[in-house]
Structure 1
Amino acid sequence: MATIEPDLVVPDVPAAALFYAEAFGATEQHRVPDGGVIQLEVQGAAFWLSGEGPDRRAPAGVGSRSAWLILVVEDPDALWSRAVAAGATPENEMTDDYGWRVGSIIDPWGQRWEIGRRLED
């Protein structure tokens, strides 16, 4: 089995780790000793946080994004609400669309997250 673990560029890695812990219940899995890179996990889904540098910027810093993240969870309504309460910007309310229960938020660094689950047939 293969997995894809995105590496999100943020201006402040420790602050972002705290936000994702509050917003998504993320837990820290690995931290590079200087704290500039942290691996997090949400309900078994892993992703990384890295600091900005000359060749990488958070989406909010450049005014665009090249991708968005889709977080598939058991209770997307609860996680969407939790993320908004933690400071995420609601983009799309939770709806049933195209066979999915899904909504989206923008995190404080400009990353777009769809939060959802596939609906039963």
Structure 2
Amino acid sequence: MKAVTTTIEPWLSVINSGKAVAFYKLAFEAAELFKMEAPDGSLVAQLAIGGASFWVSDESQEHGNFSPQTLGGKGTVRIILTVTDPDALFAQALAAGATQVSTIAEEYGWRVGRVVDPFGHHWEIGRPVDSTDN
């Protein structure tokens, strides 16, 4: 049996998965690792930002997979995206169409800000603050 590395990869349910994949590529420079398209235009894609992978697909209400848009903007998960330069990626996400929830600031040992993407998912973009940063 082949050894398997344990990972946790969020699966984001959205309305219009094609637009979502395009947004994540533009906003976060996500790379497409896998994509399967259905005849109706819906898709399932595995993306990666740096070495961190996540999945995106159209919501499937019949299987209990709802997008934040369907739930009135409510979600149960925030995604923490740790990067070297959170200020630059935060600005890039805003330019791509994300909405600012909280500005980039230093708090609780992190330089972090929060955006919501056009599909209702919340992303905290930041990095731990090193004592040599001051």
Q: Per-residue displacement from partner, 1:18-71 (whole Å, max 9, x unpaired)?
A: 000110001100112435210001111110001112222211220211111000
| Counterpart in the other structure of 1:94 | 104
Percent sequence identity over aligned pairs: 43
Number of residue pairs aligned between Structure 1 and Structure 2 = 121
- TM-score, structure 2 normalization: 0.86
Once the two structures are superposed, what CA deviation does each residue of 1:61-117 show, in whole Å capped at 9, x if it has no partner?
202111110000010000000000000000100000000000000001110000000
Structure 2 partner of 1:47: 54
Structure 2: tracts of 5 or more residues without a match: none
2:52 aligned partner, one-letter code: A
Match of 1:56 in 2: 65
CA distance in structure 2 between the partners assigned to 1:16 and 1:102 by the alignment: 23
User: Is the 2:14–2:69 Cα contact (8 Å) retained in structure 1?
Assistant: no
Unaligned 5+ segments in structure 1 are none
Q: Could you list the runs of 4 or more consecutive aligned residues of structure 1 that deviate by over 3 angstroms after TM superposition?
A: none
TM-score (norm. length: structure 1): 0.95
Q: Indicate the residue corresponding to 1:105 in structure 2.
A: 115
**Rg larger for:** 2
In angstroms, what is the RMSD of aligned CA positions? Answer: 1.2
Q: Is 1:82 equivalent to 2:97 in the alignment? A: no
